């Protein structure tokens, strides 16, 4: 079978999968209709399918981005352009510690000494504070992204009773690619430069410069760390 024909078959199979997935997501969100819903997004290329799906459903969802103070300028630009394209009203949450508070010695920031503490201050604590006013937290994590995420379930509850919904958990990187292709969704400006997983600029490397093989291996290079804490502490 020629490459073009293989691609057509792949897209046809994906459309069948997509129809089923969209129905499940719509039904699940409808079951939350009397609850207050929070969604977080890192605004990477792989974030676009879920953002696009949510933008097309008539369900009130407050979408937040975590501004740690260390996001790439290109990420800020991407947030703005995607928000306009999809008609999204994005809310921002930040930590209480200023960047100056995170200087541990002259010219040295906390992230270079204790990345776990940095993530806790700039990601985990802000989300915990915001989530108090919500019943449901939607996240686009996928099982194929890390060993931690592979153990997650589509619906879980945090210790404080917050319902966590992971609608993309069974999706693969290929599914994400095909959805983006189907709807001509944009890519993060840094992706073409080799950044396949984009987080904070001090802790993100190009995929080709990473010693790991998975798509998140460019994060926290040289550390055993594979998660920021949002999906292990909240």
Active site residues: 228
Consult the annotation and say whether 118 binds a ligand: yes
Consult the annotation and say whether 9 binds a ligand: no
Interior/surface letters 203-220, b for 16+ CB within 10 angstroms, e for the rest: bbbebeebeeebbbbbbb
Consult the annotation and say whether 162 binds a ligand: no
Rounded to 5 degrees, what angle do the CA atoms 104, 110, 112 make? 115
Name the 3-class secondary structure at 93.
Answer: strand
Find tokens 């001090």 and name the residue.
Answer: 202
Residue 172, classified by CB atoms within 10 Å of its CB into exposed (0-12), middle (13-18) or buried (19+), is middle
To the nearest 10°, the Cα dihedral for 126, 25, 156, 227? Answer: -50
Neighbours of 232 (CB within 10 A): 11
Consult the annotation and say whether 56 binds a ligand: no
- Listed in sequence order, the residues at least 6 apart from 229 whose beta carbon sits closer than 8 Å to its beta carbon are 116, 119, 120, 123, 124
Count H helices and E strands in the chain, helices first.
8, 8
- Residues of the binding site for [4Fe-4S] cluster: 118-119, 200, 203
């Amino acid at each position: 079978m020629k490459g073009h024909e293989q691609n057509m078959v792949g897209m046809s199979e994906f459309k069948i999968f997509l129809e089923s997935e969209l129905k499940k997501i719509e039904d699940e969100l409808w079951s939350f209709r009397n609850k207050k819903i929070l969604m977080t997004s890192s605004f990477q290329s792989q974030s676009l399918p879920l953002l696009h799906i949510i933008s097309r459903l008539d369900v009130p969802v407050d979408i937040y981005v975590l501004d740690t103070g260390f996001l790439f300028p290109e990420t800020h630009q991407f947030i703005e352009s995607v928000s306009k394209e999809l008609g999204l009203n994005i809310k921002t949450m930040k930590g209480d510690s200023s960047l100056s508070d995170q200087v541990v010695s002259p010219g040295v920031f906390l992230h270079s000494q204790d990345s776990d503490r940095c993530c806790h201050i700039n990601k985990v604590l802000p989300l915990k504070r915001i989530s108090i006013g919500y019943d449901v937290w939607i996240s686009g994590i996928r099982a194929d992204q890390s060993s931690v995420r592979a153990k997650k379930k589509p619906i879980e509850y945090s210790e404080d009773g917050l319902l966590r919904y992971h609608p993309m958990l069974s999706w693969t990187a290929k599914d994400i690619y095909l959805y983006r292709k189907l709807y001509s969704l944009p890519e993060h400006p840094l992706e073409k430069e080799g950044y396949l997983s984009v987080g904070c600029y001090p802790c993100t490397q190009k995929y080709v410069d990473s010693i790991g093989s998975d798509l998140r291996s460019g994060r926290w290079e040289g550390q055993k760390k594979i998660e920021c804490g949002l999906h292990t502490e909240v």
